[in-house]
A and B are shown apart, each in its own frame.
Chain A
Amino acid sequence: MENTKTYNRRSFLKSSALAGGGMLLSFSWFSEAKAAEKVAQLSFPEQWSELTAYIKITPDNVIKILVPNPEFGQNVMTSLPMMVAEELDCDWKNVVVEMGTHDNVKYGPQFTGGSNSVRMYWKPLRNAGAAARQMLIEAAAQTWGVPTSEITTKAGILSHSSGKSARYGEMAAKAATIAVPKDVKLKAPKDFSIVRNSKKNTEGVKVVTGKPLFGMDYRVDGMLIAMIQHPPAFGMKLKSFDATEAKKMSGIKDIFSFKLYDDGFEQGGFDTRAFNEMIAVVGNSTWEVMNARKKLNIQWEAAGDVKDTMNGRGGKREITVPGRLETTSRQFEMMAEYAKKPATQLRKDGDPESAFKNATQIIERTYNAPFLAHNTMEPMNFFAHVQDDKALVAGPLQAPGWMEPTLAKLLNLPADKIEIQMTRMGGGFGRRAYGSYVYEAARISQKLKAPVKLIYTREDDMTYGIYRPMYTATYRAALDANKNLIGFHVTGGGIPENPVHANRFPAGAVDNYLADGWEIPSNITIGAFRAPRSNFNAAAEQSFLDEVAEAMGKDPIAFRLDLLKRAKENPVGKNNDYDASRYIGVLELLKEKSGWGKPENAGKKRGVAAYFCHASYAGHVVDMVMRDGQPYVESVTSAVDCGVVVNPDAARNMVQGAVVDGIGQSFYGALTHKDGAAEQNNFHNYRMIRHNEAPQKIDVHFVENDIDPTGLGEPPFPPVFGAVANALFKTTGKRYYNQPFMSEQPKS
């Protein structure tokens, strides 16, 4: 923590940020009380020169780079500092990395999700590095009495033609007093020496030695452990409870019910919560709390329809959350019923009605997918210490800035009295963009006026999640007598969200195109899940295109390339939200690297799919075999266009992980309900892909270009589903329309 003795740091930073145009460029000495471990080992002096919000340098030439965004496995603790170090032109060996504080004024949005971290920070972080480098040059110029134009830098050394040279550390103190340059020149991609060169995970050693990195590991003296008992089913609520027995259990401090939001509370877009009133069990240790919770005697009752006030995305509005106790078979029936009703038109090009009327052949297929639970390996948890005049909360959270205003309202504290510390997250996948567990921890601490860590068990985590919605879509293709594709129609719906991306491929590639959608309101809470709509759409659309190609007698890659060529050269309609050239590039790279259509691969059972989402393009060829009577993905070839690849080996890791996750989710993933209650509650009945089910080989290839980088968290994931479905057809001779592919699904 920084020393805040002399001024209110937050307000100081705020004023500096205005001058810096979004990037904070402050220049001041800070006393560093808690240096990173590596720094401690090297016995550096305690003083750091802060050259920008992101860079601190010691006289001994240690360069600390602060990371704005929380880490959940996408490698931002390495890739973001690489971007700073590149423009700073320092030696990566001298860099230590530390998670920044939560300060949206200083660091910008600090949001991890939507494949946005590298994309969002590509310019600000390079600007910060370049500005600091310029300040160091200026300091050297003043010290040596030479013009700045005569000073060069290389790997953290400043040099002048006279033979003078200095390490950055020697000039850092002076540089920190120099005015920050407003306009800095950034390197051309051809000059990159750190970016595009694989660097090891900066937290790798901490991970393999079990250091306390995660929210679950957070502890302070006197901290209590809390757990929540929530209603057993969506649509139920607390009626009454008796905690007499539970309170007698050893180590128990308190048991009480609490309301998360007061009546009429205006929920922001990420304030989603399944239940508003719950029981908190608080005690000295986790095992004691777990045991006491079992002794609670609780009566639940039907909640009925509930009115909520929303004031996030979509503006302020009242909504009614239906009280229906949902059962999966009925959910599928309802989706089939809704699918027959008139839907909301989302996009129309040409005259699709006539195209279908005049068609010689119509192909129509319906695809279904269940809810999915995130199952991050680290269950939800959060630390909170709420006091009368301030609060500290700490733990795994993707978007602390979205939770801060709600915390301020719930705790009746000004936002600048709430400190949010961001720990490393044991996975996120979208789940930790929704902070109701943070609010729960804060409510409990508020009531007890004590430091509390709230822990979800796996059962809690799985049974009141923020799930990937349940979706369905029906695709129709119209072919003329010459087997040309003359019309395309997608109608999609879901509980409670419609999945259709109306402006994505193949929109723009077909003259007569129609997209429409519908939604069924539900009390089952849903949210982001590694591109929830895209991962469903990619499965459905990419299998459908495979089937259409087959009907047309075309090779599936050639068919996609024909459509994309049309979209590139003579696009249909407006607002096509993909770049056909980059899509083509990925498919061509995939074709080349997989040896698609080559005689040596003729015997392989292969499926292909490509998809665009979250600003990147990705495709896979999946090679499947039958093993012990079950389909098994043996190897995968992947091609991705995400622009400049900042940290190539880590990027490959991300793509490989997305492939494994995609195979697992499409094969096995399902969260079903009976009378509102989740039917899966732990890994014995929610099947996750395991070591023996992962492919032997995943070859990852990137399109090489100098386009500004985009993310990898989501984009490689959706097309896995489609490629797997298409490989299943080649392997089994059967088309798979219902996820999860490896279990029976209710008929649509």
Chain B
Amino acid sequence: MAKYSLKINGKTQQIDVDPSTPILWVLRDHLNLPGTKFGCGMAMCGACTVHLDGNAVRSCSLPVSAVGKSSITTIEGLSAKADHPVQKAWLEHDVAQCGYCQSGQIMSASALLKSNPNPTDEEIDAYMSGNICRCGTYLRIKEAIKTAAKK
């Protein structure tokens, strides 16, 4: 076990866990932030996507010991009132079916738009292909990203 001080959603949080513990489980089990989802545990589905200094990372494969002073943003910290342009676009296009993958999709999409405010269809496809949706909401996700890009 080891003590870590993590910057999460603008707040510094102290935890005492095994250094190998993935951020996913730190968030879910130790900090009660369950918006970040467990899907595969091997960075193949994107359900656990969070931002590490603004970049999308798969938190299931990011050990707590590797985070250092970087700041983490989770779906809970993306906006105070569900008013991030990507969240608003998701609601406008009524994207979700079961909804389980959507926090990961939203975190990927918001990181994409931060680095590339006006992505082409191909760029959206390429960036978002790490996030699986079994319900098949990909078309609406793409539309929502385009809507958010305009704002």
Main secondary structure of the interface of B (DSSP, over half): loop
Q: Which residues of B contact A692 (CB under 8 A)?
A: 125-126, 128-129
Please give me the residue from chain B that is nearest to A72 by CB atom: B98
Interface assignment of A664: CB less than 8 Å from any CB of chain B: yes
With A287-B29, A682-B44: A656-B140 Cβ-Cβ less than 8 Å: yes
What distance in Å separates the Cβ of A651 from its nearest Cβ neighbour in chain B?
Answer: 11
Interface assignment of A175: CB less than 8 Å from any CB of chain B: no
What distance in Å separates the Cβ of A430 from its nearest Cβ neighbour in chain B?
Answer: 12
Please give me the residue from chain A that is nearest to B106 by CB atom: A208
Q: Are A378 and B41 in contact (CB under 8 A)?
A: no
With A209-B76, A287-B21, A683-B40: A657-B99 Cβ-Cβ less than 8 Å: no
Q: Are A377 and B91 in contact (CB under 8 A)?
A: no
Within 8 A of A (CB), among B4-58: 17-18, 20-22, 25, 28-30, 32-42, 44-45, 47
Within 8 A of B (CB), among A439-469: 455, 457-458
With A658-B136, A659-B136: A427-B82 Cβ-Cβ less than 8 Å: no
Q: Which residues of B contact A650 (CB under 8 A)?
A: 94
What are 28 inter-chain pairs, A to B, with CB distance below 8 A?
Answer: A73-B98, A73-B99, A75-B97, A205-B82, A205-B91, A209-B78, A212-B34, A214-B37, A216-B34, A286-B29, A287-B25, A377-B45, A377-B134, A378-B100, A426-B37, A427-B134, A458-B40, A656-B136, A656-B139, A659-B136, A660-B136, A661-B135, A661-B136, A691-B128, A691-B141, A692-B126, A692-B128, A696-B121
Interface assignment of B96: CB less than 8 Å from any CB of chain A: yes
Name the one of A71, A219, A250, A694 contacting B138, with C-beta atoms under 8 angstroms: A694
Q: Which residues of A contact B124 (CB under 8 A)?
A: 691
Main secondary structure of the interface of A (DSSP, over half): loop
B71-99 interface mask toward A, CB cutoff 8 Å, 1 = contact, 0 = none? 00011101100100001001100111111
Q: How many A-B residue pairs lie within 8 Å, measured between CB atoms?
A: 195
Q: Give bound CA distance, A731 to B54, whole Å.
A: 43
Interface residues of A, count at CB 8 A: 67
Interface assignment of A376: CB less than 8 Å from any CB of chain B: yes
Interface assignment of A424: CB less than 8 Å from any CB of chain B: yes
Q: Are B35 and A211 in contact (CB under 8 A)?
A: yes
Within 8 A of A (CB), among B99-151: 99-103, 106, 121, 124-126, 128-142
Q: Which residues of B contact A519 (CB under 8 A)?
A: none
Q: Are B99 and A649 in contact (CB under 8 A)?
A: no
Q: Are B38 and A427 in contact (CB under 8 A)?
A: no
Please give me the residue from chain A that is nearest to B131 by CB atom: A691
Most chain-A CB neighbours within 10 Å: which of B38, B136, B142? B136
Q: Which residues of A contact B29 (CB under 8 A)?
A: 225, 285-287
Q: Are A653 and B97 in contact (CB under 8 A)?
A: yes
Q: Which residues of B contact A250 (CB under 8 A)?
A: 1, 18
Nearest 8 A/B pairs, CB to CB: A210-B35, A426-B100, A660-B136, A73-B98, A210-B75, A73-B97, A657-B136, A692-B125
Name the one of B28, B76, B91, B121 contacting A204, with C-beta atoms under 8 angstroms: B91
Q: Give bound CA distance, A214 to B101, whole Å.
A: 11
Q: Are A657 and B137 in contact (CB under 8 A)?
A: yes
Interface assignment of A49: CB less than 8 Å from any CB of chain B: no
Q: Give bound CA distance, A393 to B142, whole Å.
A: 38
What distance in Å separates the Cβ of A70 from its nearest Cβ neighbour in chain B?
Answer: 11
Q: Are A426 and B99 in contact (CB under 8 A)?
A: yes
What distance in Å separates the Cβ of B35 from its nearest Cβ neighbour in chain A?
Answer: 2
Interface assignment of A364: CB less than 8 Å from any CB of chain B: no
Most chain-A CB neighbours within 10 Å: which of B32, B34, B106? B34
Q: Are B98 and A378 in contact (CB under 8 A)?
A: yes
Q: Are A694 and B139 in contact (CB under 8 A)?
A: yes
Q: Give bound CA distance, A20 to B124, whole Å.
A: 53
Q: Which residues of A contact B134 (CB under 8 A)?
A: 375-377, 427, 429, 661, 688
Q: Are A657 and B132 in contact (CB under 8 A)?
A: no
What distance in Å separates the Cβ of B10 from its nearest Cβ neighbour in chain A?
Answer: 16
Q: Give bound CA distance, A659 to B95, whole Å.
A: 15
Interface assignment of A552: CB less than 8 Å from any CB of chain B: no
Please give me the residue from chain B that is nearest to A636 by CB atom: B139
Q: Give bound CA distance, A457 to B99, whole Å.
A: 19
Interface residues of B, count at CB 8 A: 63
Q: Are A209 and B87 in contact (CB under 8 A)?
A: yes
Beyond A209-B78, A225-B29, A696-B139, 5 additional pairs, beta carbon < 8 A: A73-B135, A74-B97, A208-B91, A214-B37, A219-B34
A197-225 interface mask toward B, CB cutoff 8 Å, 1 = contact, 0 = none? 01011011101111111101101000001
Interface assignment of A684: CB less than 8 Å from any CB of chain B: yes
Interface assignment of A141: CB less than 8 Å from any CB of chain B: no
What distance in Å separates the Cβ of A297 from its nearest Cβ neighbour in chain B?
Answer: 21
Q: Give bound CA distance, A207 to B133, whole Å.
A: 14
Please give me the residue from chain B that is nearest to A214 by CB atom: B100
Q: Which residues of A contact B136 (CB under 8 A)?
A: 656-661, 664, 689, 694
Most chain-A CB neighbours within 10 Å: which of B37, B45, B96? B96
Q: Are B35 and A209 in contact (CB under 8 A)?
A: yes
Please give me the residue from chain B that is nearest to A664 by CB atom: B136
Q: Give bound CA distance, A288 to B20, whole Å.
A: 10
Q: Give bound CA distance, A411 to B90, whole Å.
A: 43
Q: Which residues of B contact A73 (CB under 8 A)?
A: 96-99, 135
A258-290 interface mask toward B, CB cutoff 8 Å, 1 = contact, 0 = none? 000000000000000000000000000111100
Residues of B at the A interface (CB closer than 8 Å) are 1, 17-18, 20-22, 25, 28-30, 32-42, 44-45, 47, 74-76, 78-79, 82, 87, 90-91, 94-103, 106, 121, 124-126, 128-142
Q: Give bound CA distance, A664 to B91, whole Å.
A: 25
Q: Give bound CA distance, A32 to B113, whole Å.
A: 43
Q: Are A377 and B101 in contact (CB under 8 A)?
A: yes
Name the one of B25, B35, B76 contacting A286, with C-beta atoms under 8 angstroms: B25
Q: Are A208 and B96 in contact (CB under 8 A)?
A: yes
What distance in Å separates the Cβ of B143 from its nearest Cβ neighbour in chain A?
Answer: 11
Q: Give bound CA distance, A659 to B134, whole Å.
A: 11
Interface assignment of A22: CB less than 8 Å from any CB of chain B: no
Please give me the residue from chain A that is nearest to B126 by CB atom: A692
Q: Give bound CA distance, A653 to B139, whole Å.
A: 9
A653-692 interface mask toward B, CB cutoff 8 Å, 1 = contact, 0 = none? 1101111110010000000000000000011100011111
Please give me the residue from chain A that is nearest to B38 by CB atom: A216
With A287-B25, A688-B132: A660-B34 Cβ-Cβ less than 8 Å: no
Q: Which residues of A contact B36 (CB under 8 A)?
A: 210
Q: Give bound CA distance, A203 to B133, whole Å.
A: 18
Please give me the residue from chain B that is nearest to A284 by CB atom: B29
Q: Are A213 and B99 in contact (CB under 8 A)?
A: yes
Q: Give bound CA distance, A362 to B79, whole Å.
A: 65
Interface assignment of A322: CB less than 8 Å from any CB of chain B: no
What distance in Å separates the Cβ of B44 from its nearest Cβ neighbour in chain A?
Answer: 4
Q: Which residues of A contact B39 (CB under 8 A)?
A: 377-379, 458
Q: Which residues of A contact B38 (CB under 8 A)?
A: 216, 286, 379, 455
With A208-B90, A683-B40: A427-B139 Cβ-Cβ less than 8 Å: no
Q: Are A657 and B34 in contact (CB under 8 A)?
A: no
Q: Are B96 and A210 in contact (CB under 8 A)?
A: no
Please give me the residue from chain B that is nearest to A203 by CB atom: B99
Q: Which residues of B contact A212 (CB under 8 A)?
A: 34-35
Q: Which residues of B contact A427 (CB under 8 A)?
A: 98, 100, 134-135
Please give me the residue from chain A that is nearest to B26 by CB atom: A287
Q: Are B98 and A216 in contact (CB under 8 A)?
A: no
Q: Which residues of A contact B74 (CB under 8 A)?
A: 210
Interface assignment of A355: CB less than 8 Å from any CB of chain B: no
Interface assignment of A695: CB less than 8 Å from any CB of chain B: yes
A678-717 interface mask toward B, CB cutoff 8 Å, 1 = contact, 0 = none? 0000111000111110111110000000000000000000
Q: Are A204 and B133 in contact (CB under 8 A)?
A: no
Q: Give bound CA distance, A27 to B33, whole Å.
A: 39
Name the one of A285, A684, A688 contacting B42, with C-beta atoms under 8 angstroms: A684
With A210-B34, A210-B75, A427-B135: A684-B44 Cβ-Cβ less than 8 Å: yes
Q: Are A695 and B44 in contact (CB under 8 A)?
A: no
Q: Which residues of A contact B34 (CB under 8 A)?
A: 210, 212, 214, 216-217, 219
What distance in Å separates the Cβ of B149 from its nearest Cβ neighbour in chain A?
Answer: 16
Most chain-A CB neighbours within 10 Å: which of B22, B40, B45, B79? B40
